[in-house]
Amino acid sequence: MVRIITIEREYGCGGGQIAQRLAARLGWNLWDQRLTQEIARLAHCDESAIQGREERRDPLYRRLLRSFSLGSYEGNFGVYPIETLDADKIVRISQQVVEKAAAAGNCVIVGRGSQHFLQSRTDTLRFFLYASRDDKVRRLVSEGIAASDAQVLVERVDRERAAFIKNYFHAEWPNCSVYHAMLNTGIGDEQVIHVIMNFPDQSSSMGRAVS
E strands, 14-106, in order: 29-31
Q: What is the mean pLDDT of residues 42-56?
A: 67
With bands split at pLDDT 50, 70 and 90, how would you rate the model's confidence at 85? low
Output the pTM of the full model: 0.81
Q: What is the mean pLDDT of residues 159-174?
A: 91
Q: Which of 5-14, 142-151, 157-166 has the lowest mean pLDDT?
A: 157-166
Phi and psi, residue 126, nearest 5°: -120, 125
Q: What is the mean pLDDT of residues 151-177?
A: 91
With bands split at pLDDT 50, 70 and 90, how would you rate the model's confidence at 182? very high
Residue 15 has pLDDT above 60, yes or no: yes
Domain boundaries, the chain: 4-204
CATH topology of domain 4-204: Rossmann fold (3.40.50)
Residue 55 has pLDDT above 90, yes or no: no
Bridge partners (DSSP) of residue 130 are: 184
89-130: pLDDT as tens digits: 888 999 999 999 999 999 999 998 999 999 999 999 999 999
Phi and psi, residue 60, nearest 5°: -55, -40
Pair 28, 203: CB distance under 8 Å: no
Pair 19, 185: CB distance under 8 Å: no
Q: What is the mean pLDDT of residues 134-159?
A: 94
Contacts of 196 (CB under 8 A, 6+ apart): 5, 22, 125, 127, 181, 183
80/180: higher pLDDT: 180
State residue 188's pLDDT score: 97
Closest CA to 18 of 159, 170, 175, 193: 193
CA–CA dist 155, 11 (Å, integer): 8
With bands split at pLDDT 50, 70 and 90, how would you rate the model's confidence at 52? low
CA–CA dist 91, 114 (Å, integer): 10
CA–CA dist 97, 159 (Å, integer): 25
Handedness of CA 42, 45, 47, 50 (dihedral sign): negative
